[in-house]
Amino acid sequence: MVSKPALAALCALAATAAAAPAVAQDLFIGTVEVRQDQVVLTRCDVAQNRYVLRDRQGEADKPVARLRERLKTLKAPVYAEVIGDYVEIQDEEGAGLDVIGLDNVTPAKSCHLLDALPAG
């Protein structure tokens, strides 16, 4: 049998969990570049899907804005791991990511298969 204090604690925990919004985020790996004043991730998958990167609204941290400035001085290709939420946008690319964070931004590194093949 569950004690009353333990039951009350469990109910409070359940209420807190139910009140918190669910956040669906994923890790997107690829190379990043600036195209038409937008930071674009070309994903390291067979189709090389492209996503326009955007800073999440309402967040004080602006990882995409900082990355755009860094890309001016980094040697291409620039590898990055993007943590974000997929969004559909009205743009030529059609897909975007609301970025939560960026990890392992590495200049002169590519994860694309075609870049690994010898030229010739």
Domains of the chain: 26-116 (2.40.50)
In 3-state terms, what secondary structure has residue 55?
strand
| 29, two tokens | 């790996």
Q: What span, in angstroms and rounded, lies between the C-alpha atoms of 80 and 64? A: 11
Q: What span, in angstroms and rounded, lies between the C-alpha atoms of 43 and 29? A: 6
Report the pLDDT value the prediction gives residue 61, as an integer from 0 to 100. 87
Residue 84, judged by CB atoms within 10 A of its CB (0-12, 13-18, 19+), counts as: buried
pLDDT tens-digit series, residues 38-73? 999 999 988 889 999 999 888 788 999 999 999 999
Q: What span, in angstroms and rounded, lies between the C-alpha atoms of 55 and 59? A: 8
Report the pLDDT value the prediction gives residue 109, as an integer from 0 to 100. 94
Confidence band, pLDDT 50/70/90 cuts, at residue 24: low
* Position 102 pLDDT exceeds 50: yes
